[in-house]
Structure 1
């Protein structure tokens, strides 16, 4: 993991997985005041799962981590497209697929870090200057 870009992608993956693995109430608290689209979350994770293949070739992800990421990617791929419409905060409460993804993200973090309980990334707020 000599390349700064590889390290950044690993960190990005760990942060997103920390968010996906959090209890629903913690996710909803993190989302408070944000209008994060469900499709954005799903597409970002799918992208990271695809990128992980190349990163594993460069030893950024261990085989067990890659296996877990592939499992997350497959689960996201089977998610009903109609459930990707709207805000993620709403989907967390209505689509049981997010419970499955939460469990898979936790497994990835246990494999990677030994514990799924990780600090959540700082929320990205709009750049309006009103925050």
Structure 2
């Protein structure tokens, strides 16, 4: 890896794709009733997928890995604005796009790591201003 940030982006991509690849019930358990907005999930994943082309050029991801990430990015791009509104927990239950994304994320992890079943990343704590 040529750039210090490449390792971080690779790790973050793998963690995020692990979350997207997880079974729906595991994703819901990870959310723990938290109110994560669907649009935020889509934007974060799209950003990571767009960065894959540059990371591929620098050797951080192999061409098949980057190709899978671009496929995920394309599918995310097909989610219309109405489906991006609201909580991700609701979208997981009602929008079939997330089933497609789950399968694509699993394929990416299989190609990249040899297995899609990975421990889910720890949920980010929401900042409330209280300590």
TM-score where L is the length of structure 1: 0.95
User: Which residue matches 1:76?
Assistant: 76
User: Which residue matches 2:28?
Assistant: 28
Paired residues of 2:6 and 2:55 also in contact (CA < 8 A)? yes
CA apart distance, 1:79 = 1.3
CA apart distance, 1:126 = 1.8
Paired residues of 2:56 and 2:63 also in contact (CA < 8 A)? yes
User: Which residue matches 2:9?
Assistant: 9
**Structure 2 unpaired stretches of 5+:** none
CA RMSD of aligned residues (A): 1.3
User: Which residue matches 2:61?
Assistant: 61
Distance in 1 (CA, whole Å) between partners of 2:114 and 2:24 is 21
CA apart distance, 1:127 = 3.0
- Residue 19 of structure 2 aligns to a residue whose secondary structure is helix
- Residue 67 of structure 2 aligns to a residue whose secondary structure is helix
Paired residues of 2:2 and 2:58 also in contact (CA < 8 A)? no
Structure 2 residue 49 is the aligned partner of structure 1 residue 43: no
The count of corresponding residues between Structure 1 and Structure 2 is 131
Would you identify which runs of 4 or more consecutive aligned residues in structure 1 move more than 2 Å?
127-131
Distance in 2 (CA, whole Å) between partners of 1:22 and 1:10 is 18
**Structure 1 unpaired stretches of 5+:** none
